[in-house]
Amino acid sequence: MPSDPTDRLRDLGSFIREQRSSNRLSLRRLSELAGISNPYLSQIERGLRRPSAEILQQIAKGLAISAETLYVRAGILEEDRESNLEAHINSDPNLTFEQRRALVQIYRSFVGETQENIASQSSEGSDEMNS
């Protein structure tokens, strides 16, 4: 991940453009979905403007990716290692929107089951110790 603010803006813009292309969205269509102007989105994609967290959230919604993915790219959030897989899934240009959504849902269901199992085992273990 680039550390220079200018490089980070260019990286963010390139990432948004790649996501838009992989979703087969025109600049105009994404600007409509995100509720921002076409010229403003173009400036963001070219790394000329620094979007706010709110604008990034709107763009993420239009791209059907997590806002956190864009926040990390923009340097607003530090990358969370636990959700790194989701970020990779959401940023993979080889997957369609439907494929990304399905993979993330499957991953979250497995993670949820694992956390429930850990909690269940933990409470069972404490019950046995109290017997």
The CATH number fitting domain 5-130, selected from 3.20.20.140, 3.40.50.300, 1.10.260.40, 1.10.10.10: 1.10.260.40
* Nearest Cα to Cα of residue 32 among 15, 20, 14, 22: 20
**How many other CB atoms are found less than 10 A from the CB of residue 61?**
14
The pLDDT, as a whole number, for residue 130 is 53
* Nearest Cα to Cα of residue 63 among 90, 40, 86, 38: 90
Task: Specify burial of residue 14 (Cβ count, 10 A radius: 0-12, 13-18, 19+).
Answer: middle
pLDDT in tens, 3-51: 577 788 899 999 999 999 988 999 999 999 999 999 999 999 999 999 9
User: At 55, is the pLDDT very low, low, confident or very high (cuts 50, 70, 90)?
Assistant: very high
